[in-house]
Structure 1
Amino acid sequence: MTQLRNRNLAIHAGLWVLLLLLGAIFIWFGFYNFAADVKHSRPVFSLIETARERSVLVRAAKIGVPPLEDRAAIVKGAGNYQAMCAQCHLAPGMGPTELSRGLYPSPPALAKSNVDPAVAFWTIKHGIKASGMPAWGTSMGDPDMWNLVAFLKKLPGMEAAAYRELVQSSAGHSHAGAAAPSPGNTPHSMEESMHGEHEDANPKPSAATVPGHMHKEGEQH
């Protein structure tokens, strides 16, 4: 019996060593493609999605949600959303951006998604590894992040005109630790950044146009 048990233990140990060796070979020779323009296989994607969702839900369950109906908080959240979030998560009346098209997994279009406030707050504060979602808690205080959550509660189904009104009523990118607003982040230039299907895809340059973000054979000017 002792010899049989030892033999079984040796076989199991050998199988584990073999699996570890195969895994090391798989990783070392780069067999798995991590390119953002190649989707995960369905089993890998499901595993990652489930692990992420459970991770966030378990941690968000401990968060107490404050009242989120204050109009001033919603307006502040709208300004920061336009400056910090809209390029990935889009906005009412806004088509896909270069950034949103290039990210994988694709960021959720939050104008079409209802979010749980505690989950939204945790995600904004801590970010999500390997997803492109930053941990805004490194530069924003909790009150400013709750302002964003208050705005996100109102965002689904919002008309483009109502969105513009909220953003233009705000101070734009404004929270403790925020950098000075850039031209693309100010409320008055908001419409310029909403370059989706509602704008001319081929605007004619004028003589006064200064070359900016242009692409030609992979070059930037």
Structure 2
Amino acid sequence: MKSFIIVSLVAVVLVLVVLGSGAYNMAATEKHWAVTEKLITWIRENSIKVRAEELEVPALDEESMLGRGFVHYEAMCVECHLAPGKQPTELAQGLYPKAPVFHEREPVTDAEDKLFLSKKYFWVIKHGIKMTAMPAWGVTHGDESIWRITAFIHELHGMTPERYAELVDMHSSQHQYGIHDH
């Protein structure tokens, strides 16, 4: 047992020396080491799962909810998460890790998977994610607004450029910063 403790302490010290030496490149133009990527992903996914598990998901399929969710998404999310038919922005291209591109995902049809994904989306939108450029929109938006964005993101899965353009035409100029439908 004593040997294990000594070896563990030496390993921790070596890791700290390597990391403190600047050997790990923090530039967004360089990918994480594979082990770092796996560790960060594992920590992030488990953290979100634990915190989102107890959320109560409201009905997300009401048309007014989707329209208002679109308005928020178009104003606050497109720069990083993109939209059907739009080219990647300079901001999106410079992010690491890259933000999820929701319209490229297949629609979720399994009710249990959709429920979990709703909780995950809501939690991430509300609280943000450290060191990813994902802001905590819960600081400026109430839960109702965040659930609307969540509802729209589900609709975004597999959405065509034509459908997105229709939504732009229907809802243009409706989002105002500082005025939120809580």
Q: TM-score, normalised to structure 1's length?
A: 0.70
Distance 1:156 1:85 in 2: 14
* Correspondences of 1:78-97 after superposition (within 5 Å): 78-97=70-89
Query: Counterpart of 1:101?
Result: 93
On the 8 A contact 1:82/1:172 being kept in 2, the answer is no
Instruction: Tell me what 1:149 maps to.
Output: 150
Partner of residue 121, structure 1: 122
What is the correspondence of 1:172-183 to structure 2 with a 5 Å cutoff? 172-174=174-176, 177-178=178-179
Kindly provide the amino acid, as one letter, of the partner of residue 27 in structure 1.
L
What is the alpha-carbon distance in structure 2 between the residues aligned to residue 98 and residue 34 of structure 1? Answer: 20
Please list every run of at least 4 consecutive aligned residues from structure 1 whose deviation after the TM superposition is greater than 6 angstroms: none
Letter in 2 for 1:96: P
> 1:98 & 1:159 partners in 2: Cα distance?
22
Count of equivalent residues? 170
Paired letter, 2:130:
K
**Aligned partners of 1:24, 1:71: CA distance in 2, in Å?**
53
1:184 is matched with none
Within 2, Cα distance between the matches of 1:151 and 1:13?
Answer: 51
Gap regions ≥5 residues in structure 1? 1-7, 180-221
1:159 aligns with 2:160: yes
Q: Residues of 1 paired with 2:151 and 2:140: CA distance?
A: 19
TM-score (norm 2): 0.84
Query: What letter matches 1:118 in structure 2?
Result: K
Structure 2 Cα separation of the partners of residues 20 and 49 of structure 1: 21
Instruction: Identify the residue that residue 28 of structure 2 maps to in structure 1.
Output: 36
Q: Structure 2 vs 1, CA of residues 28 and 43 (structure 1 numbering), >3 Å: closer, same or farther? A: closer
Q: Deviations over 1:16-35 (max 9, x none)?
A: 44233323322322111111
* SS of residue matched to 2:157: coil
CA distance in 2 between partners of 1:26 and 1:166 (Å): 51
- Secondary structure at 1:33 match in 2: coil
Higher relative contact order (CA 8 A, sep 6+): 2
CA deviation profile, 1:96-132 (whole Å, cap 9, x unmatched): 1111111011111111225611111001001111111
1:52-91 matched pairs, under 5 angstroms:
52-91=44-83
Q: How large is the Cα RMSD of the aligned pairs?
A: 2.0
User: Partners of 1:106 and 1:44 in 2: how far apart?
Assistant: 16
For the structure 1 residues 142 and 16, does the alpha-carbon distance in structure 2 shift closer, same or farther, using more than 3 Å as the test? Answer: same
- Once residues 47 and 71 of structure 2 are traced to their aligned partners in structure 1, the CA distance between those partners, rounded to angstroms, is 29
Contact 1:75 1:167 in 2 (8 A): no
Structure with the largest fraction of helix: 2
Percent identical pairs in the alignment equals 39
